[in-house]
Chains A and B, each alone.
Chain A
């Protein structure tokens, strides 16, 4: 290694701000503040990011784990406001939060706040213990249409979740586009043969094909572009009912579709199962703008297999970013 290169490395290291020894994050800069209101582990919480100089543009909220790794939790746009409330999902492993963005005068701003002692206590309370004891099914979602009713063996909570994934929470299918593409394929093969018989001018046929192609593509985009994010859930038998019976048995579950604003909600319940309490949840927002956070507000505590990132588009409605989310939730 040459001397100039070595000198450049030494200067770069000397100029790099040291990481905070407490949180492992980069040091604060600017006049940004971050306020939390009694955050709980395995729940959706709200952080208020503010600055006396005002905020502008994109604001990002990161969670800092015990290992110092930063995970993006929420992305919002301040829009020249003095403060912004940012919802975020708190995994039990979080130790601190960092907000990064710009103040209204264009200066970079960053602030890190350790989570209060109550957060660690919430990670060990009765609700958290109940959620932590559940496993996530590793089975894939079924591809057959879901039944209108189902007999579910309720000997084991985890078995109910596996059954739900394979049989009840199946992916919706829209056969329309596939039929349209099949017809399109047949037309592609038939048109040259018809054109030869009828002796159409090649230029006219080509123009017609291009116009038809654009029309078909536009119709497909229009038909497929408005899928609703879907939220599926299934209730578990209440602990009291389980304790009262000696042998596991089957319960007849039926779905109830509740149209939400911007999402579909399918809840599987049985008369003998508690409508509140522990529920296995699957959110499918693939190919959509995202699942509205409102859809999950009924769960005061919820443990995701993979913590979701929340975005706040300009219309102000917080969304879980597009994806598939598996969770155990307590609806109490």
Chain B
């Protein structure tokens, strides 16, 4: 961790806090529960990719409370399943990204970015197509498969 991490964290939390402040001035409204849960995490992923950072775990962790706030205040559907899926999706994304290594240059860097986004795809496809609990199950499965492959490689 260093000063660059501080700037990265600021780039994640400052816009999210600004959006939270603005939301308090808007009329009462509801929005899609999964979209609310995933938007802050998606922003964190974007900042990680833009900053060519390798630490997606802490990026997601800093953004998660904003997901919790957005879902709890504005969600039109059940909150706990959406938040649980968001958490599992972040774990799956981090686990799949770990398979691509931690190289920071050239093709390896793009592979890690693609892996980070690809970790979300199976869970999101099922969560939006079926329901959040099913998406959670798929995301957990994705994370377990990625961790298993990573463990086999490091033996």
**Does A13 make an interface contact (CB < 8 A)?**
no
Q: Is the CB of B5 within 8 A of A192?
A: yes
Mask of B58-75 contacts with A, CB within 8 angstroms, 1/0: 101110111111011111
A selection of 7 A-B contacts at a CB cut-off of 8 Å is A181-B20, A184-B13, A191-B9, A192-B1, A192-B2, A192-B6, A220-B69
- Secondary structure dominating the interface of A: helix
Given that A192-B9, A206-B55 are contacting pairs, would A178 and B65 also be in contact in the complex, using a CB cutoff of 8 Å? no
Q: Is the CB of B65 within 8 A of A224?
A: no
How many residue pairs, one in A and one in B, have C-beta atoms under 8 Å apart?
113
**Does A156 make an interface contact (CB < 8 A)?**
no
CA–CA, A184 and B66, complex, Å: 10
**Does B57 make an interface contact (CB < 8 A)?**
yes
Interface size for A (C-beta < 8 A) is 42
Partner of B83, one of A173, A192, A217: A217
**Does B50 make an interface contact (CB < 8 A)?**
no
**Does B148 make an interface contact (CB < 8 A)?**
no
CA–CA, A220 and B29, complex, Å: 19
Contacts of B151 in A (CB 8 A): none
Given that A181-B20, A185-B14 are contacting pairs, would A220 and B68 also be in contact in the complex, using a CB cutoff of 8 Å? yes
Q: Is the CB of A287 within 8 A of B73?
A: yes
**Does A260 make an interface contact (CB < 8 A)?**
no
- Secondary structure dominating the interface of B: helix
Least distance between A291 CB and chain B CB atoms (Å): 13
Q: Is the CB of A192 within 8 A of B28?
A: no
**Does B104 make an interface contact (CB < 8 A)?**
no
CA–CA, A276 and B45, complex, Å: 57
Q: Is the CB of A209 within 8 A of B58?
A: yes
Mask of A178-213 contacts with B, CB within 8 angstroms, 1/0: 101110110011111101100010100110011011
